[in-house]
Structure 1
Amino acid sequence: MKSQWECFLQNLGVWEGSFTNFSPQGTLLNDTSSRLSLEGLNNNQTVRLTLSRSGKDDVIREFMSVGGGLLFFENGSFSEGLIQLGPFSEFGAELAFVHENRRLRLVQLFDKNGHLNGLTLIREHLAGTPATERPPLQINDLLGEWRGQAVTIYRDLRSSDIYSTTLKIQLDDTGRLIQSTSFGDVSRQAALRLRTITSTATIKGSIILFDQDPEKQVQVLLLPDGASVTSPLQVLLRQSLFLEAGWLIQPNLRQRMIRSYNDKGEWVSLTLVTEEKV
């Protein structure tokens, strides 16, 4: 099993792309070209990050270890964000996928009152390789049954959990979306029983709004390059919450990443689901 540092090193290279900002309603606000270098120094004992964006000062950071609000999966995919939701403070996190020569990253930000405030989609490819992108995600891309495997890693670095997943997405006669998620264990001989969660949502253009509970409304925003971002419209103290991003890598291959917080507002775990359409 790779160490967190070894997982981080999967991201070394020069990544070219763009930062695209959206309103919470999915309106494109601006798009800025970017170049991000992750360079290994001292036999990869140190990593220097240099981010250049047009019209902005360069950002330079050096890493000799990783931790805090940052966790990596073995393929280099990761999430970084606040480890604690607090009163009257801004909140947010980044969820980032790595696949072959591409990275797709999504940043969700919430204001001091807990309202969703802004979204940033970052699309990158390794310098010198094709910048092939997927079309913008559509509802029809998601319909059907998806089966896959989830890996959950924990902030306290206890052993990870691996389990099977099934996601079914369909429309009813009124055009309302019905989603059923089932997950069960494949690593501990059924120590985790199969569980199913069903929810429904209203579709409004590129927004899927899960509005069954008026006090815990969650929206999914469909974005360019096969991306989606799942956000509570408002994060509340003393309620558990999750932030999610998705990437349709191929028509029948999708990944989802979920960053989960408990009802004390503490970041607990990070899950990567890799699923294929049946």
Structure 2
Amino acid sequence: MPTLCADRTMAAAAAPAVSVAYHPARCLQFGRHRRFYVSKQKPIPRLATNYWKFRRATVVSSSSSFMVEQEKENDGSMGAEVLHRFIELNLGNWNGSFYQFDGTGSLLQTVTTRLAASSYGEDELMSLIQTLYIKQPASGYEPDLEWAEYKIKESNMFTVDKYQQIGFFPKEKAFALRYQTAGMLETTLRAGVLGEDDIGEESPKGLKIPSKIPSIVCENCLYSQKSDMRARAFHIMDPHGVLEMLLIFLEKREDGTPISSAPGKLLDDSADRITPFLGEWQGHSLTKRTGVYGATITEADTQVILEMNDGRLIQNITSTSDDGTSSVQWTGSISGNLISFDRGFQMIMLPGGMYMACPEDLSKNVSSSQSFHLEFCWMESSDTRQRLVRTFDTDGLAVSSTYFYETKV
């Protein structure tokens, strides 16, 4: 969201990051009974997109590399502890729904899902194992094959730190991850919408599938402050750096009980998705470097005022930290549920008190050597909201994440 542009310290405080990619998940079909597996091939370098290349592991500078190594030496157990807390936060049986939206906020598909998460190993060798179950539409061919199963690639110390470039806030129960492909999301759509009728067509009729080589796939996850629920939001930017689609898993955990049917519709819609966000919001932000050793970069007090003026949205942002106070104003035009700001940034209003934001065209950021941000906001009640913002450099590397908790005054 444009709110981060008020904080100039974020993009400059980037830790050394790694960009490595693996093959997309493969969908294997054995007769009528499909099972989905993640490719186990070795990591390969990312192929160039139209506007930038995801590079191999690169040290930003010798001084910053030394700083990170010193961090690890001084806090040797920190990585394992953070990993343990991340895995613990994800454990359990999660029942819910998967929602697909286009770039203007229009709902395209809804799929019922279940997620079973467990772990094995200890300390630095601990791993998170997840299996996604996707409710298939009724089929006359296989009436008993109700759920498709997808084995998600396990998460461990290496994958979350290097591949997914985790941004984790244990106390706030929020995290951000990066993915190389949209294989898991594509499988959810194919199995949940087409079911046994899916013959693997590139562009199935009536179904929008993510690009095979997206430029960015980013997950921002926020946990409810009131119940054991969470919202996992995915930005998918196409190979040209333009928003392709938005995806949300809205899930409720049922610990200690067998996986049951998902609850009813959780994502309530409203004809007016903008008005609930208008007014003055005050809160606090916390910015961390990417990775399991990511240290806090900046903390700040924030004030955001949103108001309408002649049919346009005016947003005034003030951020106060130890480095001083900065302010910025944004003006946006409104078209349905899409707000386009005058600095090439857009906010897509979604049902359930949510919005997601991103640049209109990442190539413009890349060509001008500017970092960029992807944001997810969840207003769970009329007077409180959480926001999670992921900051990327011009090579598409996630360098930091910022968590906001704000209340309406």
TM-score by length of 1: 0.86
- Deviations along 1:146-166, whole A, 9 cap, x unmatched? 000111110262334221111
Find the counterpart in structure 2 of residue 64 from structure 1. Answer: 156
The 5 A counterparts of 1:131-170 are: 133=266, 135-136=268-269, 138-155=273-290, 157-170=294-307
Report whether the alignment pairs 1:224 with 2:320. Answer: no
Whole-angstrom CA distance in 1 between matches of 2:370 and 2:135: 39
More helix per residue:
2
In structure 2, the partner of 1:239 is 370
| Residue pair 1:136, 1:227 contacting (<8 A) in 2 also | no
| 1:77 alignment partner, one of 165, 174, 193 | 174
Runs of 4+ in 1 over 6 A off after TM superposition: 128-132
Which residue in 1 is equivalent to 2:236? 109
- DSSP-derived class of the 2:362 partner: coil
2:386 maps to what in 1? Answer: 255
CA-CA distance at 1:20 after TM superposition: 0.9
Question: Per the alignment, do residues 29 and 140 of structure 1 end up closer, same or farther by CA in structure 2, a change over 3 Å counting?
Answer: same
The corresponding residue for 2:10 is: none
Residue by residue, what CA displacement relative to the aligned partner does 1:181-208 show, whole Å, maximum 9, x if unpaired? 11112xxxx3x21111110001122111
Q: Could you tell me which amino acid in structure 2 is paired with residue 158 of structure 1?
A: A
Q: Percent identity?
A: 27
- Pick closer, same or farther for the CA change 1:28–1:133 going to 2, 3 Å: closer
Residue 4 of structure 1 contacts residue 71 of structure 1 at CA under 8 Å; is this kept in 2? no
Q: State the SS of the aligned residue for 1:194.
A: strand
Q: Tell me which residue corresponds to 2:338.
A: 207
Contact 1:15 1:124 in 2 (8 A): yes
What does the per-residue CA deviation read over 1:65-123, in whole Å, with 9 as the maximum and x for residues that have no partner? Answer: 2312222111331111159xxxx862221111012311111111111111111110211
What's the Cα RMSD here? 2.4
Following superposition, the deviation at residue 239 of structure 1 comes to 2.8
Aligned to 2:114: 35
Once the 2 structures are TM-superposed, how far is the Cα of residue 27 of structure 1 from its aligned partner?
2.1
Task: Determine whether 1:272 maps to 2:403.
Answer: yes
SS of the equivalent of 2:389 reads strand
Q: Which protein has the bigger strand share?
A: 1
Work out which of the residue numbers 4, 12, 16 in structure 1 matches 2:95: 16
Query: Secondary structure, in 3 states, of the residue corresponding to 2:388?
Result: strand
In 1, Cα distance between the equivalents of 2:394 and 2:128?
Answer: 35
Equivalent residue number for residue 49 of structure 1? 130
Measured after TM superposition, the shift of residue 243 of structure 1 is 0.3
TM-score by length of 2: 0.60
Secondary structure at 1:58 match in 2:
strand
Q: Which runs of 5+ in 1 are unaligned?
A: none
Greater Rg, structure 1 or structure 2?
A: 2
Take 2:239 and 2:265, find their aligned partners in 1: how far apart are those partners? 37
Which stretch shows the higher mean deviation, 73-82 or 145-154?
Answer: 73-82
Aligned residues: 264
Distance 1:29 1:57 in 2: 22
CA deviations 1:40-85 (Å, max 9, x no partner) are: 33468332111111234422332332312222111331111159xx
